[in-house]
Structure 1
């Protein structure tokens, strides 16, 4: 049996007046997604446990079969694993965003999607200045800071994408002496980066400067059994996002490197589909993660969100549905990890629509894959960390 889990990050949404009170999923041209809904079972999936932040890390950990309440330790450790940084017993890993700040307000949580090459130059300067902990280059604006001391776990931080347009001073780290130290590092970074040659050059090109860092999402190295130990399946991930790759490392999955997988709107959808099909040859289960709908949701861009959904449908799901019947048996699950509604601009905890098709999966007379149709599906409301048990065991 081959298993495919296709995740459109942030794909679910709310009805929009601009779309005649329909969601992007309802208006998008997505014949292959609708085919999965028609040929299978549908329902709603609760990916975020009550009381937990609706992050992609929490949601995707649950989708991969692990209860976030038991196994989730923070976003930072996942970023660390994805770039090969091995954490010591007392190390605390923070996610380090490069951001743009003007007039004391956070204007851009990704500094105009700064390149990895540019980030590496800024990281080098930060390490030359700060003597406590160490910074590591990740991908684009997504970088890493390691603090040597577990007391940093108590620091309260906020995701930068949740505070765009708001005063920095209202959202700085809090809760104790270490929080004051982390807060000072953030503030000091603005002085260090303000006139950095990289930012001067970016400004000349009309790009927003990466004139401050934002530390958040900290945690320690998690301990968990691999997916193969838990389910007896050899798995792989297809993604352009570090935190998903980090989950893959801890879960013993093969992270397939896909040229052109950017984790942004310009990701190479066709390449993701092509590499997923190839990976099926020697893997039992494939997690395909596409970040683009989430990025469009954060940007409040309806057109780009619809376009991302349609690209997933035509360039990834379509080729997969053509290929999967060549195997003796398969099951495919289509879902979002969480909503990123256009009118909210960030993640929400609402359950997401999901559909399962394949061997011995009963049809339930749903004709469209979308938020409203899923409510009438035979699967009802389920908990995400039990999804693989349902997919594999039913």
Structure 2
């Protein structure tokens, strides 16, 4: 038996006025997901434990079957694992965004958490230039993908920097940054680095580089290096992850899964859907479990664009879910389709409400018979799986795949 987990990041939402009171999932045309829902089980799952921030790091860790309350140390360490970045047990690893800030200072405002969705080559040049000027014995920068980068703070065991709480930049769009700068100020060396970076970016490193919309760096999500059990040992399945974003790759690499890179996978609405499907199908020839992650709905949610989010859900259904169903029609396969968390258009950031999910396999003894897969229909069944990290084991048991 093969197991296919299809994850549309941030797909869940609340009713949107511009969509006639429907959510993007309800407004989108999704015949493939609807068919799976009708033939399988549908319910909700709380992927974010109480008291933890509703981020993709926490929620995707739970979807992969690992308890975030036990294993999660921060966003930065997960992305460091994706890069194979070596760090000591006493180091702190910060996620570091390139961002756009209006008036970097106590009166400043966060305008864009992604510096205009900066392209990777330009971002790499910027981080390299900052690294040359600002790296020292304590802090080192490491370039990642698009706006997502890393800052390693060496030998931080003696300090309290693990407890600093600068907010994720996507949580404070068009909001003041004074309280976050006050957090940085608790570590004078970190505060100095952030301030000097803003100065360098403001004038393009003295005119040497076109920095585009990137005029500040934003460290956040810090933690000690990530240690996870091996996925195959935990579930008896040879698994792989397919995603454009480092945090999902990091979870896969940290748990010993195969991490498959797909050319043209952007994490946006224009990603290489067909390439992800082809890569998943190729892996299933030699493996048992594939976790295919699409970032587009989340990015559209952060942008507050209901029409684009609806389109991202439609594309997920027509260009990922449907072709996977067709290609595996003659196989003994289990489909789990869900999202990691909600990214409501009204909030433009994540929310920890339970997410809708569907679980479908040939011969499901109690199919839901639902006409559509939406947040509302999922909640209406009364089926609730929590804590979220038990969803995968529950799904395997339901489909009779445990231990195969």
Question: What TM-score does the superposition give when structure 1 sets the normalisation length?
Answer: 0.94
Which residue in the other structure is 1:188 paired with? 196
Q: Which contiguous aligned blocks of 4+ residues in structure 1 show a shift greater than 4 angstroms? A: 197-203
| 1:113 Cα deviation from its structure 2 partner | 1.2
1:376 aligns with 2:380: yes
1:136 aligns with 2:132: no
Unpaired runs of 5+ residues, structure 2, are: 399-404
Partners of 1:270 and 1:44 lie apart in 2 by: 28
| 1:173 Cα deviation from its structure 2 partner | 5.5
Which residue in the other structure is 1:53 paired with? 53
Which residue in the other structure is 1:352 paired with? 355
Q: Assess if the C-alpha contact under 8 Å between 1:173 and 1:182 holds in 2.
A: no
1:331 aligns with 2:334: yes
Partners of 1:5 and 1:121 lie apart in 2 by: 35
1:220 aligns with 2:218: no
Partner SS for 1:332? strand
Indicate the larger mover: 96-105 or 58-67.
Answer: 96-105
143, 157, 162: which one aligns with 2:166: 157
Partners of 2:94 and 2:305 lie apart in 1 by: 29
Partners of 2:150 and 2:240 lie apart in 1 by: 24
Partners of 2:182 and 2:254 lie apart in 1 by: 28
| 1:183 Cα deviation from its structure 2 partner | 2.4
Q: Assess if the C-alpha contact under 8 Å between 2:184 and 2:191 holds in 1.
A: no
- CA deviations 1:87-146 (Å, max 9, x no partner) are 112111100100111232111111111122112222222222222310000001100000
Q: Assess if the C-alpha contact under 8 Å between 2:110 and 2:172 holds in 1.
A: yes
Partner SS for 2:386? strand
| 1:224 Cα deviation from its structure 2 partner | 2.3
Indicate the larger mover: 27-36 or 79-88.
Answer: 79-88
- CA deviations 1:278-334 (Å, max 9, x no partner) are 11111100001000000000001111101110111111111111122322x211101
123, 139, 147: which one aligns with 2:153: 147
Partners of 2:206 and 2:96 lie apart in 1 by: 18
Unpaired runs of 5+ residues, structure 1, are: none
1:289 aligns with 2:297: no
Which residue in the other structure is 2:401 paired with? none
254, 263, 272: which one aligns with 1:250: 254
Q: How many residues align?
A: 388
CA separation of 1:161 and 1:213: change in aligned 2, threshold 3 A: same
Partners of 2:311 and 2:122 lie apart in 1 by: 29
Partners of 2:83 and 2:326 lie apart in 1 by: 34
